């Protein structure tokens, strides 16, 4: 599958400079990091959260987890994990669980953890479990310029 159509179009529209790093099939972002020999803090994983107001895409290092209490405090929303069925419906051009970090492309708000911008470059899944898209931190920030940036992670 490689890059989802919507993500490919967005990267082209933005003139983003990127490479593709192939790796054996993985089940999680952290496993992708291990298989691709990339540090977990350099992989941007995407977690779909939702409540009665809709969905929110949380983007954070693969080596961390979402602090839902902190997100509740920051957003004044009672967010919980979206179901696999909800994620599949929202990201229909992606394999289950291979969610790209661009909520704007899928008509949802995005929140990015500040720790990602401390990295020199970033990798992310963009539709399948066998490749990672690699961009500079500057490109990543430009691609997520409309996202809210704050701190909301717990280290594993």
Reported as a single tens digit per residue, the pLDDT across 77-100 is: 999 999 999 999 999 999 988 999
pTM here? 0.94
Give residue 49's pLDDT.
Answer: 97
Q: Under a CB-based contact definition with an 8 Å cutoff, are residues 120 and 137 in contact?
A: yes
CATH number of the domain within which 108 lies: 3.90.960.10
Instruction: Give residue 103's domain range.
Output: 5-155
Q: Is the pLDDT of residue 24 over 70?
A: yes
Give residue 109's pLDDT.
Answer: 95
Q: Under a CB-based contact definition with an 8 Å cutoff, are residues 112 and 146 in contact?
A: no
* Other residues' Cβ atoms within 10 Å of the Cβ of residue 48: 22
Say what percent of the chain tops pLDDT 70: 99
Give residue 31's pLDDT.
Answer: 87
Work out how many domains the chain is built from and give that number.
1
Give residue 35's pLDDT.
Answer: 87
Per-residue pLDDT, averaged over 10-20, amounts to 96
Degrees to nearest 5, angle at CA 155 with 61 and 131 = 25
Per-residue pLDDT, averaged over 100-121, amounts to 94
The DSSP bridge pattern shows strands 109-113 and 148-150 to be: parallel
Q: Under a CB-based contact definition with an 8 Å cutoff, are residues 30 and 123 in contact?
A: no
Per-residue pLDDT, averaged over 109-119, amounts to 92
**Structure token pair of residue 37:** 């020999």
| Band of pLDDT at residue 30, cut at 50, 70 and 90 | confident
Give residue 21's pLDDT.
Answer: 92
How many residues make up the chain in this entry?
A: 156
């Amino acid at each position: 599958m490689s890059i989802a159509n919507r993500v490919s179009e967005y990267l082209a529209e933005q003139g983003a400079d990127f490479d593709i790093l192939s790796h054996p099939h993985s089940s999680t972002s952290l496993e992708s990091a291990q298989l691709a020999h990339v540090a977990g803090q350099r992989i941007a994983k995407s977690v779909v959260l939702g409540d009665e107001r809709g969905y929110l895409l949380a983007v954070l290092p693969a080596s961390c987890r979402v602090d839902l209490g902190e997100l509740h405090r920051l957003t004044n929303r009672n967010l919980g994990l979206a179901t696999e069925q909800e994620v599949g419906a929202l990201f229909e051009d992606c394999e289950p669980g291979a969610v790209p970090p661009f909520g704007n492309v899928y008509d949802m708000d995005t929140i990015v953890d500040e720790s990602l911008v401390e990295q020199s470059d970033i990798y992310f899944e963009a539709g399948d479990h066998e490749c990672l898209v690699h961009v500079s931190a500057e490109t990543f920030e430009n691609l997520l310029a409309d996202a809210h940036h704050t701190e909301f992670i717990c280290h594993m």
